[in-house]
Amino acid sequence: MPMQMQDLQDLFVMKLNDIYDAEQQGLQAMQQLSQRVQSPELKQGFQQHIEQSQQQVSRLEQIFQQMGQQPNGEKNLGIQGLIQESQKLLSQDASPEVLEAGIIACQQAMEHYEMAAYGTARTYAQLLNNDQAVQLLEQTLDEEKQNDEKLTQVAEKINVQAMQG
């Protein structure tokens, strides 16, 4: 049953639920994608990001707890669509370099989705004067930006390799 949306606090809780499910789905997708990559740099990046995502989930749980809330378990359809795109890619007959270039693109799409969501949630937390949530969301937003930059650096090498087939 959809929750009643009366004010920004309700919207904030809804956004946190969206992000929480996106992180859960993203974790599963990263574990699947990391098994398909051969580049040691990319494999290590996935492992680090998986560990980081687990910490990010823990931060979200902290925010829920502080507000006396529980995640509601609703599916985040946006991230689900991005994950379906990555699964479609995995079903293609592609060279390892081309596959990895595509995997990076899919992962960056998920990072950008998360950066937008965390940025919005942080803004809501600021407006609601929830300083603890602001701090926790800002920490995660910074990590997401760093992950995106790392993926770009790896992509610059792998995309060149993919050009050569």
Distance CA 95, CA 127 (A): 48
Quick: pLDDT tens for 69-96.
999 988 999 999 999 999 999 999 999 9
Please give the pLDDT value at position 83.
Answer: 96
Q: Band of the pLDDT at 165, cuts 50, 70, 90?
A: low
Distance CA 102, CA 90 (A): 9
Distance CA 6, CA 59 (A): 25
Total domains in the fold of the chain: 1
CATH (domain of 115)? 1.20.1260.10
**Residue 2 within any structural domain of the chain:** no
Mean pLDDT score, 59-71: 96
Round the average pLDDT of the chain to a whole number and report it: 94
**Residue 88 within any structural domain of the chain:** yes
Report pTM.
0.92
**Residue 34 within any structural domain of the chain:** yes
Task: List all residues 6 or more positions away from 56 whose beta carbon is below 8 Å from its beta carbon.
Answer: 23, 140, 143
* Domain with 47 in it: 8-163
**Residue 3 within any structural domain of the chain:** no
Mean pLDDT score, 16-40: 94
- The structure tokens 């823990």 sit at 58
Please give the pLDDT value at position 152.
Answer: 94
Distance CA 88, CA 162 (A): 18
